[in-house]
Amino acid sequence: MSKTNFNELELILGYKFKNLCLIEEALTHSSIKIKNKESKKLNYERLEFFGDRILGFIIAEKIFLKFTNLSEGELNLVFQKYTNETFLYKIAKNLRLDLFIKTQKGDELKSNKSILADVVESIIAAIYLDSNIQNCKNFIDKKILLDGNITISKEKHPKSDLQEMSLKLFKTIPVYELEKKTGLDHKPTFSVKVKVNDDLCAMSKGKSMQIAEENAAKKLIPILKKVIKNHDI
């Protein structure tokens, strides 16, 4: 990346890197075959792994301290709102990160939702390694939370909502089953099926069992709402 492009990116991020190799690594997809002096591959995957944990810690700390009356399930619902792939993808697009990502396969990968979300996390790790946790918090406040604005979702927790509906309709609780686990060890994807009354079911995925179960519950809720409406319950 040229110095002009680095300067433009630093203006967008609101952070000036001392070690430009870090931000270059944070923007490099694994399709680019680059190695360092120790012959280790240089791409954003290790930084993304670290950045995911840094982002999670900072968001968890913020919502824990701000919303003192929320239950664990309610805290998790707020947490997912600000750490899920779709949200981070939107942040990446707002920051125009697709213009700076280096790939071997061109625009197809640069517009990939998962890749763009990952790069947001890799940049967080790059900032931390280049400086400290406070600069990460500043970046997250200004560029991800848009001046630190965290709000509570008005939605019910999907698993609680589904359980209430299941008990009302069938006097039974939902059953969650792990169908399969795929992906890398440090970044797995869980596929979960939820069943109600043995004949109503939905499947979904997530980067943890908890997220996959919540996503599956969200998919099954509209189905149960139709049943309730049809039976005038």
How far is it, in rounded angstroms, from Cα 74 to Cα 225?
Answer: 22
* Bridge partner list, 188: 183
24, 25, 48, 52: which is the annotated catalytic residue? 52
How far is it, in rounded angstroms, from Cα 62 to Cα 59?
Answer: 5
Q: How far is CA 93 from the centre of its chain?
A: 14
Three-class SS of 19-58: CHHHHHHHCECCCCCCECCCCCECCCHHHHHHHHHHHHHH
Helix (H) or strand (E) holding 179: strand 175-184
48, 118, 121, 214: which is the annotated catalytic residue? 121
Determine whether 213 is an active site residue.
Answer: no
Determine whether 121 is an active site residue.
Answer: yes
DSSP state of 143: I
Active site amino acids: 52, 121
